[in-house]
Amino acid sequence: MLNSFFAGFRSLAPFLLESVHGNQRNGTMSGDATPSAPAVERTLSILELLSVTKSGLTLPELSRRLGLPKSSTYCLLVTLERRGYLLRNNRTHRYLFGLKLFSLANLALSGIELREKAAGFLHPLMERSRLTVHMAIIEDHEAVLIEKVEPPGLVRLATWVGKRLELHCSAVGKCLLAYLPEAEFARLVRDRGLTRNNENTITSIRKLKQQITQIRHAGYAIEDEEGEIGCRCVGAPVFDHSGNAIAAISVAGTTAQITTEDFTYVGQLVRQTASDISQALGFIPVGTASSGQ
């Protein structure tokens, strides 16, 4: 089981690589000459070794097999355990994978499949809108970007694959919120809260529910400088074959690129693209299903 799981965990590579490339573009890394971080190398060695064991390993066993001092190995294990990546059996003292790794692997696997299905639709949307296109899924009470397609030009948004956005003040987040079960929506808002980023951010549950009703009616969501002053987004939900809103796409730009007069046209453009992706995933719209009977 651990072997097959770790194969899935390795599929996080596209997200990790994109983060590295994003850091390089932002000037936070010096390039190929940058040395590896020893602590990270040791941490990954621990995870890789645990992935090929059936019942986990103890601290002495890990230290001996990896040729590392017990003290530094223990510090790494404690950190991984505190963050939820490992768990320690109190009876056998063996370390095993924690639920956090399963969560990350599932996120990566679902993200890769969605990216492959959506790729042929996101680029045309960018070309027609001349705006930055994003695709996101919900994970741990946040929207996580799993794809970004940028238009040519000098304007570059400070977003990247793997970036996390708050649900109540992003177009993709609102789309994902709009189709959550009522109980899950209430729990999420209660646990997470509605953080205020600026004077435009919705911090009232009543107003958020009003917007959700509008999103369901119009088929798209608008974020008007609610996350960041000077930026606007228009998003739409993506449904799977079961009718679940498993992702959302959006176009984003500055207030000069997306004016309030553009909302309706851009909304229809994004909604149509989201519908095309949904049908590629096996979703059958209600009208289509009815006409086919």
Is residue 176 exposed (0-12), middle (13-18) or buried (19+ Cβ within 10 Å)?
A: buried
Q: How many CA atoms lie within 13 A of 267 on its CB side?
A: 19
The average pLDDT across 172-196 equals 92
| pTM of the predicted protein model | 0.66
Looking at every residue in the chain, the average pLDDT score rounds to 85
Residue 76 lies in a domain: yes
pLDDT per position as a tens digit, 240-268: 888 999 999 999 999 999 999 999 999 99
Give the pLDDT of residue 53. 86
- Same domain flag for 267 and 250: yes
H helices of the chain, in order, are: 2-9, 13-25, 38-51, 59-66, 70-82, 99-129, 171-178, 182-192, 205-218, 263-280, 286-291
Same domain, 135 and 51: no
Same domain, 74 and 217: no
Same domain as 149, residue 162: yes
Does the residue 152 lie in any domain?
yes
| Minimum mean pLDDT range among 13-22, 76-85, 153-162, 177-186 | 13-22
269: CB partners within 8 A, 6+ apart: 125, 128, 129, 251
What pLDDT, on the 0 to 100 scale, is given for residue 47? 92
Lowest mean pLDDT among 37-41, 150-154, 215-219: 150-154
Sequence-distant (6+) residues with CB within 8 A of 61 are none
Is residue 63 located within the same domain as residue 30? yes
Domain assignment of residue 22, yes or no: yes
pLDDT of 286 reads 73
Residue 117 and residue 250 in one domain: yes
Structure-block tokens of residue 270: 């994004």
User: Among all chains, which residue has been given the structure tokens 């990896």?
Assistant: 66
Q: Are residues 160 and 278 in the same domain?
A: yes
CATH number at residue 15: 1.10.10.10
Question: How much is the average pLDDT of 16-37?
Answer: 54
Q: What is the pLDDT of residue 111?
A: 63
Tokens standing for residue 253: 């730009």
**Residue 278 has what pLDDT?**
95
Give yes or no for residue 8 having a pLDDT over 70: no
Q: Quick one: 92 and 118 in the same domain?
A: no
Q: Does residue 293 lie in a domain region?
A: no
Quote the CA–CA distance of 95 and 153 in Å, as a whole number. 50
State the number of CA atoms in the 13 A half-sphere of 32 facing the CB. Answer: 0
Domain boundary among 54, 80, 98: 98
Half-sphere CA count of 152, side-chain side, radius 13 A: 1
Residues 173 and 231 in one domain: yes
Domain hosting 92: range is 2-98
Query: Count of CB atoms within 10 A of residue 245's CB?
Result: 21
Residue 291 in any domain: the answer is: no
Q: What is the DSSP string of 179-223?
A: TS-HHHHHHHHHHH-----STTS---HHHHHHHHHHHHHHS-EEE
State which of 98, 113, 138 marks the end of a domain: 98
Reported confidence tier of residue 106, pLDDT bands at 50, 70, 90: low
Task: Decide if 255 contacts 225 (C-beta within 8 A).
Answer: yes
Task: Report the pLDDT value the prediction gives residue 161, as an integer from 0 to 100.
Answer: 87
Does any domain span residue 210?
yes
CB distance 210 to 99 below 8 Å: no
Q: 151 and 228: one domain?
A: yes
pLDDT tops 90 at residue 154 = no
**pLDDT above 70 as % of the chain:** 84
For residue 225, is it within any domain?
yes
Whether the pLDDT of residue 224 is over 70: the answer is yes
Q: What CATH number is associated with residue 267?
A: 3.30.450.40
Helix (H, G, I), strand (E, B) or coil at 58: coil
> Are 91 and 169 in a shared domain?
no
Residue 130 in this model has a pLDDT that exceeds 90: yes
Number of structural domains (the chain) is 2
Domain limit, last residue, from 51, 78, 98: 98
| Parallel, antiparallel or unpaired: strands 231-239 and 164-165 | unpaired
287 pLDDT exceeds 80? no
pLDDT of residue 54: 79
Residues 53 and 32 in one domain: yes
Q: Residue 171: inside a domain, yes or no?
A: yes
Please give, one letter per residue, the 3-state secondary structure of 106-125: HHHHHHHHHHHHHHHHHHHH
Residue 28's pLDDT is: 46
Model pLDDT, residue 1: 43
List, for residues 50-63, the tens digit of each pLDDT value. Answer: 988 878 999 999 99
